[in-house]
Amino acid sequence: MISNRNTPAPHRRWLLPSLLCSVLTLTAVPLLAQSGEVPFTAEPVAEFDQPWAMTFLPDGRLLVTERKGRLVLFDITSGARSEVTGVPKVFYGGQGGFGDVLLHPEFERNGVIYISYAEPGENNTGGAAVARARLVLDEGEPRLHALEVIWRQVPKVTGQGHYGHRLAFGPDGMLWITSSERQKFTPAQDMASNLGKIVRLQEDGSPAPDNPFAGQGGIAAEVWSLGHRNMLGLAFDSEGRLWAHEMGPEGGDELNLIRRGANYGYPSVSEGTHYSGKAFPASHDERPEFEAPVITWKPVISPAGFVIYSGELFPDWQGDGFIGGLSSQLLVRVEFDGEQAREAARYNMGARIREVEQGPEGHLWLLEDGAAGSQGRLLRLSPR
């Protein structure tokens, strides 16, 4: 049985197109803390059609991906928005569609951005792809120029789940990609496939030469870690440690500290169970050769989106992680202590939270998933 925790139920489309500049009445967000007072307010700013990811430009404008295949440039101050042209056709359906968007570390010099998306293959197959292009903003309508696909999931398979394709640049200047196992289980342990792996690439998409399996060549040369299921959040802390959360099966969502060459065990081990009720062969405690999660969530939170906060607007939260929850409709705060972590608080947002980002002025920004008959709202969190 396939989980639908990551996929919202079918819903009615709004009559207003997502790119229509219009004055919208946005309802205030009711908030409920697990315990105590919620330390922030959540202000709805805009709405998007099934948004998946966002990133801020140096001038404060926002790029937002919509899963059906649109990249939107949004001006928070004026409310103006326009569609960025030159985006590739996406393989939309299930969990597939447009994914992440990321600026090159030297974006202000070169204007390069990276995007991830599901692309179609032959015989109704599909897989994630990552492309880079130059974002042109000074020639009328915004557009992508010289788009080049630099990485693909191998192999393309049937089904519409577990693409992953979260992107991050590390302190080492390398591009990191989560490549989920596409609900196919065994490729996560197969070094001839990059499914169920975290990959580490140079900015042009070639494998980093010092990757742990570089000597094997081929697909294995791009792999940093393996044995993953469905990773929808990736973030570096201030010490350069890489953390990724992982949506588990029936129970067993995880937060993992990502180590060089480590095997996280899926599908040989899991703290959850198959949706059929069948148990996994073992838990991490029973197979210590596999890297164990730092946090396991049972019941699940269905994690999506992840940022480690570094701003000054919430000084008590500097260094804390924030994770969105899909089926749980939560914002989860995680405190780190070196290589350890614990859940510190959870806030009921009343909607599926797909993306979490930090803004240039230190606000936390959330994107709702856009389920239950509504558009996905963009929320700005400010101190209460």
Domain assignment of residue 20, yes or no: no
- Helices in the chain by DSSP H: which ranges? 107-110
DSSP 254-307: EEEEE-TT-B--TTTB-SSB-TTSPBPSB-TTT-TTSPPPSEEESS---EEEEE
Give backbone dihedrals phi and psi of 248, rounded to 5 degrees, phi first. -80, -175
Instruction: Check residue 6 and give its pLDDT.
Output: 72
Instruction: Check residue 17 and give its pLDDT.
Output: 32
For residue 348, which of 373, 372, 366 has the smallest C-alpha distance? 366
Picking from 27-31, 76-80, 347-351, which range would have the lowest pLDDT averaged per residue?
27-31
Region 137-166 average pLDDT: 96
Residue 372 has pLDDT above 60, yes or no: no
Confidence of residue 28 (pLDDT cuts 50, 70, 90): low
The residue segments making up the domain with residue 312 are 32-383
Domain assignment of residue 149, yes or no: yes
Confidence of residue 11 (pLDDT cuts 50, 70, 90): very low
**Is 162 marked active-site?**
yes
Q: How far apart are CA 362 and CA 191, in angstroms?
A: 40
Q: How far apart are CA 218 and CA 117, in angstroms?
A: 23
Q: How far apart are CA 305 and CA 168, in angstroms?
A: 12
Instruction: Check residue 120 and give its pLDDT.
Output: 96
Domain assignment of residue 7, yes or no: no
Strand partners, 289: none
Residue 8 has pLDDT above 70, yes or no: no
Instruction: Check residue 22 and give its pLDDT.
Output: 32
High-pLDDT (> 90) share of the chain, %? 86
Q: How far apart are CA 205 and CA 154, in angstroms?
A: 14
Q: How far apart are CA 15 and CA 361, in angstroms?
A: 33
Angle at 366 between CA 258 and CA 370, to 5 degrees: 105
Q: How far apart are CA 319 and CA 288, in angstroms?
A: 29
Beta-carbon contacts of 163 under 8 Å, excluding residues fewer than 6 positions away, are 95, 96, 99, 118, 127, 128, 153, 180, 182
Q: How far apart are CA 129 and CA 150, in angstroms?
A: 8
Domain assignment of residue 6, yes or no: no
Q: How far apart are CA 51 and CA 98, in angstroms?
A: 9
Instruction: Check residue 350 and give its pLDDT.
Output: 93
Cα dist from 122 to 117, 172, 380, whole Å: 17, 36, 41
Region 70-93 average pLDDT: 97
Domain assignment of residue 286, yes or no: yes
173-225 confidence digits (pLDDT tens): 999 999 999 999 999 999 999 999 999 999 999 999 999 999 999 999 999 99
Instruction: Check residue 140 and give its pLDDT.
Output: 80
High-pLDDT (> 70) share of the chain, %? 90
Instruction: Check residue 19 and give its pLDDT.
Output: 35
Domain assignment of residue 339, yes or no: yes
Q: What is the mean pLDDT of the chain?
A: 92
Instruction: Check residue 36 and give its pLDDT.
Output: 64
Tally of domains within the chain: 1
Q: Which of 11, 104, 145, 162 is catalytic?
A: 162
Domain assignment of residue 366, yes or no: yes
Q: Which CATH number do you get for residue 276?
A: 2.120.10.30
Instruction: Check residue 105 and give its pLDDT.
Output: 98
